[in-house]
Amino acid sequence: MVPLLEFNNVSCDSDDVLENVSFAVYPGENAMFFGVEGSGLKIVTPLILSVEGLYDGDILYKGRVIRSLDYLGKLSYKNNIGYVHGDYGLISNMNVEQNISLRLEYYSEYSIADIREITERLMRELGIIDKRKARPVELTSSQIFRTAYGRAVAHDPDLLIIEHAFMGQSPLNIRSFMDVLKKRVENPDKSVIFVTYEPQKFVDFADTFHMLYRGRIVFTGTRQEFLESDNPYLVQYRNISLQGPMDII
């Protein structure tokens, strides 16, 4: 099977550093990337999104090298990715309904009726139908996240990136969202990449775990291996310990 996304010996020295990083995410696989601050996490998403173009090695999507794509090819590639980032990036002068439908209106061939149907369905599934006319300033942190998530999946992308999610939310609000997320991660045709400092929040949803430290992958394993491995980097991270191979500043 051809990987959905693949990094081959990727190195980058920008806002963060990666050194000869290689991994593959297959269709239907959900992958977790985690590590301490300054580990290389900061640059993973910009590289996937093709925002950061200064790197060595190759990044492939469905077997095709991203930087070899022409303009339309790159546009199509980016339209196959959904992205929920830490500050959510909602447009402040648009309400919930408008924020969710925005990408469909500009980057799809859906009819107006289809866009309304998709947006309505997402607002109901996410429990924010009663906030459809509310602007971001009127929403709670949980409602802002749900709106950003709805916008990211409205076009049903093959790959969804969730980066540093749930900041400023209570455990109960997070738990109430997990049933929605579960539907996504159980879809055999879709993949989710989690980028986080708190992998335990998503341990039940990821199939493969990649830990970064100083730009290198120091652990890769399954969910069971993530929970039980005696890898010294992972043990230090799991135990939230200052004692171990990682220098924490």
Residue 137 has pLDDT above 90, yes or no: yes
What is the model's pLDDT at position 110? Answer: 85
pLDDT, tens digit (0-9, with 9 covering 90-100), for 95-126: 999 999 998 888 767 889 999 999 999 999 99
The Cα-based distances of 98 to 82, 88, 132 in angstroms read 17, 15, 8
The Cα 80–Cα 86 span in angstroms is 20
Residue 152 has pLDDT above 80, yes or no: yes
Arithmetic mean of pLDDT, 169-180: 84
What is the model's pLDDT at position 52? Answer: 80
The fold of the 1-80+157-169+186-249 domain, in CATH, is: Rossmann fold (3.40.50)
Q: Per mean pLDDT, which of 61-75, 170-184, 230-244 is the most reliable? A: 230-244
Mean pLDDT across the chain = 92
Residue 135 has pLDDT above 90, yes or no: yes
- Look at residues 5, 80, 18 and name the one whose alpha carbon lies nearest to residue 213: 18
What is the model's pLDDT at position 177? Answer: 86
In this predicted model, which residue has the larger pLDDT, 105 or 236?
236
Instruction: Say whether pTM exceeds 0.85.
Output: yes
Map out the domains of the chain as residue ranges.
Answer: 1-80+157-169+186-249, 91-156
The Cα 214–Cα 191 span in angstroms is 26
